[in-house]
Structure 1
Amino acid sequence: METPLRQTEAADRFNPIEAKMTYIKKDLWAKHFQSWHITDCAVREKSVVYFCLRKKTSPEEASLIFDHDIRSKLFVLSLSSPTGDRFGATTLEGYNKPRVGVSRKPLPQGLLVSRNNDGQVNIMGGGVDTADEFIAPGKVPMTARVKCINDYAYSVGGGRAIYKREDIGKWIKIDAGFPAVEADTAQGFNDMDAFSETDMYAVGGHGDVWHFDGKLWTQQGFPSNVQLATVTCAGDGQVYISGEGGSLWRGKLSTWELIYQGASSILWNDVLWFDGKLWLASDYQARTWDGKQLQPITHNGQQIPIYGHMDAHDGLLVIASPEVVKAYDGKEWRTLVAPYLD
């Protein structure tokens, strides 16, 4: 049985000296990161990365308030500056369990989406000032993830709720083929991915797997009714689904094989294809799949101490833990954000 890497272990292994070599300098870190946790990340292009930050809150304080009472921040970092000082930040009130994502059409922008009744969205970038959008006013889109597919942003939510952002302020529901039944916990979705707009997969709930051919969603057979977390349309032509225990399935449509039996107490946050292999990240660990087993992430013989949430696009992989962010371009790792302890 694989023993997951605990958050405290990862922190113990972090070398404070490394902070002196990070892209984000001390003054910027102190202003925008020191009192905040990083909860999500999204790569718009290899030089532009967005983060979702939440104000640090003690367990005692958090037990007395609602999630939307915790302040949120949408932060964008440009990696094109040699001094690491090109950024943007917006602090937001009332955002419940927000997730960050990007769109590349109709404009290159970052999106912070609140899981509230209207699906409120704060927009950043594109060279324009854009008012908050609302995915589906009063219809509770329950955004669990924001995915960019064929350059368009999609909100993926519970009760099989999928919305595509077709234009500025215009979200349309992609639901042809879903039965009109009252949503329950056995239904998805937690994630979606695609080879193209006519070959999409969405998963969630308890073994709830669907395929979209560009016109209709059709439910697929799946060999288990466990909770499903992620789906990845990979560069090797296969589809990978992760679920309860951190287990991993591979296949297509209604044909699936269990390739890794996990024993973790938590789900994978993100699973993606980068640099010719599958990468997986959770709140405890980050791993790659070598075709037979999960392997620690290493570089030049040294393990990379990172975990959390991740995204990849345009030749850049970013993995963000609550306080440390690392980026990998297929050749070298570098630290974008890290605590300054002196």
Structure 2
Amino acid sequence: MPRSHLSPAAWADVFQGQEIVGVAIRNRHTLQTLSRHAMPQDQASRLLDGQIPTRVATIFLNDSSDENVGFRDLSGMTHPRLGVSRASFHDGVLVASMDRDGDVYPVGGGFDGPFEKIHPGGWPGVQRLRCIGDQTFAVTLARGLYQRVTVGQWERLPGIPVSRREEELQAAGFRDLDGFSAAEMYAVGGHGDVWRLHAGEWRQMAFPTRDALATVTCGGDGNVYITGEGGSLWVGERGTWRRLHQGDSGVLWNETRWFNGQLWLASDDRLRVWDGSRLLAPEHAGIPILASGHLDAHDGLLAVADLWTVSTFDGHSWRQVVTPFKD
């Protein structure tokens, strides 16, 4: 890959001493990262998660100057999640906290706060922020799906019941959401808990396993791809499911995305592509791409981030965006 997009000085200012825990693409020229202050395990274990400083950075990919990255530090964010807003009322980035109110901090696009609340006092347990079309949704525990309808206002999508027993057994999702459009979406989580929105109504779908489910992606080929326990991969076409891959990993996939006509999958220890018959490590010019962690795809660009590096792929070439510089 070519040299890092960031200069040594920019890297030292923004990423040195940080561990990257999320990546999101606002558009082809603007990349977001979420990171946390790195510290020894024994030190971190003495803190509440919300006491660990959080940083959201914006990288301008079409800017080659030394000022092509900026950041905002946030405090009090518990197990933060990164997302974007592409709505007419806000084109920027969102950081959600897994706290009592489901606090969300908007940054960029003319915004720097204040905090928004997904469900005041409801302990929603935000698992993911997903942008489908121009609408942003929060995916939460106990089958919660919330739509950001305007600045500072989130509304829970109706029509998805959950019983007290399902909550107690952790049988009810959700962990992820995707859609062919905002009118046809799929939500997954829990133990084989799959729901589909169609014709304005949410319905639970039969799924052939009670394994824990992690991600869902609506592919450009018209299929729906779901990953689950052990790193397994399933495919369905709006209702009938079959397993494509029996996973052998104890690590769930963090994200899956459809890009360049293929399904891409990232976990803490691997990056893979489904070629139609196998999960393969991606290559470029015959050389394996060593990447893992978190990924996103949008606007003709794929981004992959591990704890210390960020790379992008435009379907033709890979580019190093963030890489550590040694003294």
TM-score (norm 2): 0.96
Match in the other structure for 2:73: 91
Q: State how far apart, in whole Å, the 2-side matches of 1:219 and 1:321 are.
A: 34
Given that 1:176 and 1:215 are in contact with CA atoms closer than 8 Å, whether structure 2 keeps it comes out as no
Instruction: Report how far residue 181 of structure 1 moved.
Output: 3.9
Preserved contact between residue 144 and residue 156 of structure 1 (Cα < 8 Å): yes
Match for residue 64 of structure 2 among 74, 79, 82:
82
User: Larger strand proportion, structure 1 or 2?
Assistant: 2
Q: Percent identity?
A: 40
Correspondence for 2:42? 60
| AA aligned opposite 1:63 | S
- C-alpha distance after superposition, 1:47-77 (max 9, x if no partner): 1111111000211112212111111011111
Runs of at least 4 residues off by over 3 Å: 179-182
Which residue does 2:195 correspond to in 1? 210
Aligned residues: 324
Aligned in 2, Cα 1:327/1:84: closer, same or farther, shift over 3 Å?
Answer: farther
Question: 1:12 corresponds to which residue?
Answer: none
Report the CA distance between 1:277 and its aligned residue: 0.4
Distance apart, 1:84 and its partner CA? 5.2
* Mapping for residues 36-55 of structure 1, pairs under 5 Å: 36-55=18-37
CA distance in 2, matches of 1:297, 1:223: 29
- Residue number in structure 2 paired with 1:31: 13
State the match for 1:312 in structure 2: 297
Q: CA deviation at 1:46?
A: 0.4
In structure 2, C-alpha distance between the alignment counterparts of 1:93 and 1:41, rounded to whole Å: 19
Q: Which deviates more, 78-87 or 281-290? A: 78-87
Q: Distance in 2 between matches of 1:77 and 1:174?
A: 33
**Which stretches in structure 2 are left out of the alignment for 5+ residues?**
none
Contact conserved, 2:100 with 2:123, CA < 8 A, in 1?
yes
Q: For residues 162 and 140 of structure 1, what CA distance do their matches in structure 2 show?
A: 13
AA partner of residue 71 (structure 1): P
Aligned residue number for residue 149 of structure 2: 166
Given that 1:147 and 1:156 are in contact with CA atoms closer than 8 Å, whether structure 2 keeps it comes out as yes
Q: What code does the residue aligned with 1:45 have?
A: N
Structure 1 letter corresponding to 2:144: A
Aligned AA for 1:309?
A: H
CA displacement, residues 93-140 of structure 1 (integer Å, 9 cap, x when unaligned): 110000100010022110011110111111111124441111111111
Three-state SS of the structure 1 residue aligned to 2:42 is: helix
The two structures, once aligned, show a CA RMSD in angstroms of 1.4
Confirm whether residue 334 of structure 1 aligns to residue 319 of structure 2: yes
Distance (whole Å) between structure 2 residues aligned to residue 92 and residue 306 of structure 1: 27
Task: Kindly provide the CA deviation profile for residues 161-185 of structure 1, in whole angstroms up to 9, marking residues without a partner as x.
Answer: 1101111111110131424546231
Cα separation, 2, equivalents of 1:128 and 1:63? 33
**1:275 maps to which residue?**
260
Which residue pairs with 1:3 in the alignment? none
Deviation at 1:254, TM superposition (A): 3.4
- C-alpha spacing 1:129/1:63, structure 2 compared with 1 (3 Å): closer
Aligned match of 2:95 in 82, 104, 112? 112
> Which shifted more, 284-293 or 175-184?
175-184
Gaps of 5+ in 1: 1-17
Deviations 1:270-323 (A, max 9, x none): 111000101000000001001111111110000111100000100010000000
| Residue 300 to residue 45, structure 1, CA distance change in 2 (3 Å) | same
- Give the alignment's TM-score, normalised by structure 1: 0.92
Matched, 1:225 2:207: no
